[in-house]
């Protein structure tokens, strides 16, 4: 039987070179989706195969890797990916945002500001921001080439006409470097401003859809909006029950079946750092009571 | 008091341990061997090799065992292994005309040179559950006769001699073979990439699409010109020695569909082709593939394009079951950050709705 052997960080060097070329092109054209020959990875499509391939291609033996899913280092998929690189690359891993050189993420951007030299790798399910308006790749590529983004503005306008608000709560489209409209991956729109003028390099990998794109450090990233309906962030209006933070994105925890809720930081590292620094929330106090549903 | 969830690592390990236990099943029942899977569940192995794009019966059998019989999971295991293998090059084109035929049928002619050879087939069996098979059944030895020396030319070649069917497009021998596992796919795709995509595509998906063309969604009047199954030689041109060296033989099923004519004022009418090829004995797969291949040629043949099976982007983007199952099943992963964001928006919209209604009611009451 052909017993398998694997290279550093799993991918063979040829594949890594191919991915690095795609990454360099992506950095050179901020927000542009570069096709790449995505490989079948040993975890399923949809589990972060794009992010994993980008991470595998840029990881060196001295890197310190952090993996988060939903902002947390402890969610099952984050653990699984961290273990994968611990095993195949033997790199140091951490949960500290500050100490990491490479952070792979699904659905969140860490609360703490990233610094120069760090790389944030996003897992992307559908890289095409126009996909739900136009299912054909041949069409959407043409629209990007011509910077023909009217359709997106019409969609946002229709939201306002129907609901009074832009009804996109996550994967909120942005314009990168005043050129390409880009999908920020399904991060809550709360995180969008963090992408703008960020000191770290941001790389986006979509494995199933075979696309890589990037935001180089200190690049302008603007959330799409209208003058009379400016972009707004959303976070539940409560302090974190564990660390008292009033500026972090919160997870809603259902505590009983009678409407009991509590809200805690989604970014576990941020929350733990604050608690270690002596900040406290209500923690054991009665969970926040929602108003009865109307 | 709320404690943040920790210990996912242990939970994962325990889940995998339990999976291994469940995979083994009742430990008093003998463990199934790879040889048993390969020999007695051979068509399942063929499917895993075909859609896994890797001709290795033993690894396919291992994958089926490891996947507890879940075929898509087994295909995924084979694909993930295949992705790590180095590429030395491409073989010479295999010649299915010189196949050691084990089964060969044509539905277009009553008899063809080389004859109709039924071979091992479910066709014409009565689908009655056979209690004899439950245990210890020893089948009769197969009937044996002198092997025929007659050549078995492809039925489409016979039609082709009279110009009744369009010539099979000849690839440029020096042009590199397209490989969508090495180069990202772009549309419109060439036929080599389309056929590769269909060969790797999910049997069920292609079956349904092929069926849809028969029911009128992109009808193309197919006849099973020929289906053949048997062994072909695989050769590889070795630069070092300067000639093609045999690598061994593989089992293939090939289906050539003969479809409705094309033709114009300047071109004599002739039948058109749909092509299917798969590892092992995979008749349903190759027939479905041939129907869909023909449907995807609608544009090239000047037919109206409208049905799902004729839509290249639709078919090729959704045929891969490893991709499909990944994205469908990823909905199991946590999405609570996004869900929270949606909840926030929905609550806001509902509150505004309630306030607007209240205002209307107040106004009505005041009137």
Burial A195-220 (b: 16+ CB within 10 A, else e): beebebbbbbbbbbbbbbbbbbbebe
B164 shares a domain with B22: no
Q: At what angle do helices A76-88 and A49-58 cross, to 10 degrees?
A: 30
- CA B93/CA B235 separation, integer angstroms: 8
A 226-245 near B (Cβ less than 8 A): 234-236, 241-242
Answer for the pair B289, B199: CB distance below 8 angstroms, yes or no.
yes
pTM: predicted TM-score of the whole model, two decimal places:
0.90
pLDDT value, residue B263: 74
Tell me if residue A240 is catalytic. Answer: yes
Instruction: Give the list of residues 6+ apart from residue A218 with CB closer than 8 angstroms, or none.
Output: A197, A198, A199
Q: Is the pLDDT of residue A1 over 90?
A: no
Residue of B nearest to A290 (CA): B347
Q: What are phi and psi of B96, to 5 degrees?
A: -75, -15
B239 shares a domain with B106: yes
Contact B326 A266 (CB under 8 A): no
CA of B196 to nearest chain A CA: how many angstroms apart?
15
pLDDT value, residue B118: 93
Task: Give the residue-averaged pLDDT of B135-144.
Answer: 93
Tell me whether B340 touches chain A (CB under 8 Å): yes
Does a structural domain hold residue B131?
A: no
Beta-sheet pairing, A288-289 with A211-215: unpaired
Token pair 């939201």 is found at A159
pLDDT value, residue B362: 83
B256 shares a domain with B320: yes
What is the tally of structural domains in chain B?
Answer: 2
Domain that holds residue B45: 14-82
B33 shares a domain with B102: no
Instruction: Give the list of residues 6+ apart from residue A69 with CB closer than 8 angstroms, or none.
Output: A75, A76, A77, A78, A105, A106, A107, B333, B334
A291 C-beta neighbours (distance < 10 Å), count: 8
A287 C-beta neighbours (distance < 10 Å), count: 18
pLDDT value, residue B268: 86
Q: Is the pLDDT of residue B366 over 80?
A: no
List CB contacts (< 8 A) between A17 and chain B.
none
B46 shares a domain with B102: no
pLDDT value, residue A288: 41
- CA A248/CA A188 separation, integer angstroms: 12
Token pair 């291609």 is found at A57
Tell me whether B88 touches chain A (CB under 8 Å): no
B157 shares a domain with B25: no
Q: What is the ipTM of this complex?
A: 0.85
Q: Which of A212, A228, A223 is nearest to A187 (CA)?
A: A223
Task: Give the residue-averaged pLDDT of A215-243.
Answer: 95
pLDDT value, residue B20: 97
- CA B221/CA A55 separation, integer angstroms: 50
Q: Which CATH architecture has domain A13-223?
A: 3-Layer(aba) Sandwich (3.40)
Tell me if residue A271 is catalytic. Answer: yes
Contact B80 A69 (CB under 8 A): no
Q: Which of A71, A198, A265, A281 is catalytic?
A: A265
Contact B181 A37 (CB under 8 A): yes
**Which pLDDT band, with edges at 50, 70 and 90, does A58 fall under?**
very high
Answer for the pair B155, B112: CB distance below 8 angstroms, yes or no.
yes
Q: Which of B299, B63, B190 is nearest to A2 (CA)?
A: B63
Does a structural domain hold residue B144?
A: no
B23 shares a domain with B107: no
Q: At what angle do helices B203-214 and B321-329 cross, to 10 degrees?
A: 110
pLDDT for A82-116, tens place per residue?
A: 999 999 999 999 999 999 999 999 999 999 999 99
Q: Is the pLDDT of residue A291 over 50?
A: no
Does a structural domain hold residue B185?
A: yes
Residue boundaries of the structural domains of chain A:
13-223, 235-282
Percentage of residues in chain B having pLDDT higher than 70: 98
Percentage of residues in chain A having pLDDT higher than 70: 94
B226 shares a domain with B300: yes
Q: What are phi and psi of B250, to 5 degrees?
A: -130, 155
Token pair 């544009």 is found at B299
pLDDT for A142-184, tens place per residue?
A: 999 999 999 999 999 999 999 999 999 999 999 999 999 999 9
pLDDT value, residue A227: 94
Contact A163 B4 (CB under 8 A): no
Does a structural domain hold residue B359?
A: no
B184 shares a domain with B78: no
- CA B324/CA B202 separation, integer angstroms: 9
Q: Which of B84, B186, B325 to mutate to test the interface with A (most CBs of A within 10 A)?
A: B84
Higher pLDDT, B336 or B54: B54
Instruction: Give the list of residues 6+ apart from residue A164 with CB closer than 8 angstroms, or none.
Output: B349, B352
Does a structural domain hold residue B78?
A: yes
Does a structural domain hold residue B334?
A: no
**Which pLDDT band, with edges at 50, 70 and 90, does A282 fall under?**
confident
Task: Give the residue-averaged pLDDT of A121-127.
Answer: 97
**Which pLDDT band, with edges at 50, 70 and 90, does B147 fall under?**
confident
Answer for the pair B116, B103: CB distance below 8 angstroms, yes or no.
no
Tell me whether A40 touches chain B (CB under 8 Å): yes
List CB contacts (< 8 A) between B62 and chain A.
1
The domain boundary residue, chosen from B292, B309, B326: B326
Burial B264-302 (b: 16+ CB within 10 A, else e): eeeeeebbbbbbbbbbbbbbbbbbbbbbbbbbbbbeeee
**Which pLDDT band, with edges at 50, 70 and 90, does B6 fall under?**
low
């Amino acid at each position: 039987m052909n017993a398998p052997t694997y290279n550093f960080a799993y991918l063979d060097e040829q594949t890594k070179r191919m991915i690095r070329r795609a990454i360099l092109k992506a950095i050179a054209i901020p927000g542009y989706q570069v096709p790449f020959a995505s490989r079948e990875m040993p975890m399923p499509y949809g589990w972060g195969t794009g992010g994993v391939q980008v991470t595998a291609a840029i990881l060196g033996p001295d890197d310190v890797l952090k993996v988060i899913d939903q902002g947390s280092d402890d969610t099952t998929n984050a653990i699984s990916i961290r273990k994968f690189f611990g095993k195949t690359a033997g790199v140091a891993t951490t949960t500290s945002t500050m100490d990491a050189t490479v952070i792979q993420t699904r659905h969140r951007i860490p609360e703490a500001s990233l610094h120069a030299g760090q790389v944030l790798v996003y897992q992307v399910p559908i890289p095409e921001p126009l996909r739900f308006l136009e299912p054909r790749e041949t069409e959407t590529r043409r629209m990007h080439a011509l910077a023909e983004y009217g359709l997106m503005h019409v969609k946002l306008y229709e939201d306002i006409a129907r609901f009074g608000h832009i009804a996109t709560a996550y994967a909120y489209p942005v314009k990168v470097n005043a050129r390409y409209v880009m999908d920020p991956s399904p991060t809550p729109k709360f995180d969008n401003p963090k992408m703008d003028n960020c000191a770290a390099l941001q790389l986006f990998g979509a494995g199933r859809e075979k696309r890589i794109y990037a935001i180089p450090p200190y690049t302008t990233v603007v959330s799409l909006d209208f003058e009379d309906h400016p972009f707004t962030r959303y976070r539940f209006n409560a302090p974190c029950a564990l660390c008292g933070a009033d500026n972090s994105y919160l997870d809603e925890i259902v505590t009983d079946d009678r409407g009991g809720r509590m809200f805690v930081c989604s970014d576990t590292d941020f929350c733990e750092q604050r608690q270690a620094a002596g900040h406290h929330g209500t923690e054991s106090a009665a969970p926040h009571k929602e108003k009865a549903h109307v | 008091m709320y404690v943040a969830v920790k210990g996912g690592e242990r939970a994962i390990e325990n889940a995998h341990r339990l999976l291994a236990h469940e995979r083994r099943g009742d430990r008093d029942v003998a463990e199934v061997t790879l040889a048993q899977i390969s020999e007695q569940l051979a068509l399942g192995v063929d499917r895993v090799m075909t859609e896994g794009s890797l001709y290795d019966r033993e690894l396919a059998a291992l994958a089926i065992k490891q996947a507890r019989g879940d075929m898509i999971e087994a295909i995924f295991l084979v694909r993930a292994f295949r992705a790590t293998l180095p590429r030395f090059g491409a073989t010479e084109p295999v010649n299915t005309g010189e196949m050691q035929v084990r089964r060969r049928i044509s539905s277009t002619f009553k008899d063809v040179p080389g004859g109709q050879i039924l071979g091992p087939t479910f066709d014409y069996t009565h689908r009655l559950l056979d209690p004899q098979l439950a245990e210890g059944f020893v089948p009769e030895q197969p009937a044996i006769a002198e092997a025929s020396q007659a050549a078995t030319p492809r039925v489409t070649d016979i039609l082709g001699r009279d110009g009744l069917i369009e010539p099979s497009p000849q690839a440029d021998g020096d042009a590199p073979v397209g490989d969508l596992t090495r180069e990202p796919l772009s549309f419109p795709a060439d036929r080599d990439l389309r056929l590769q995509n269909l060969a790797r595509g999910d049997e069920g998906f292609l079956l349904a699409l092929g069926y849809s063309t028969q029911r009128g969604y992109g009808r193309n009047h197919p006849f099973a010109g020929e289906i053949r199954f048997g062994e072909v030689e695989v050769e590889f041109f070795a630069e070092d020695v300067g000639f093609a060296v045999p690598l061994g033989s593989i089992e293939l099923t090939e289906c050539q569909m003969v479809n409705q004519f094309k033709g114009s004022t300047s071109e004599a009418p002739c039948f058109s082709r749909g092509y299917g090829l798969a590892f092992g004995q995979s008749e349903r797969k190759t027939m479905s593939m041939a129907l869909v291949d023909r449907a995807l040629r609608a544009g090239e043949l000047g037919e109206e394009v409208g049905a799902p099976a004729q839509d290249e982007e639709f078919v090729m983007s959704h045929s891969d079951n490893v991709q499909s199952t990944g994205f469908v099943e990823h909905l199991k992963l946590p999405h609570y950050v996004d869900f929270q964001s949606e909840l926030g928006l929905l609550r806001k919209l509902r509150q505004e709705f309630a306030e607007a209604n209240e205002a209307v009611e107040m106004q009505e009451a005041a009137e």
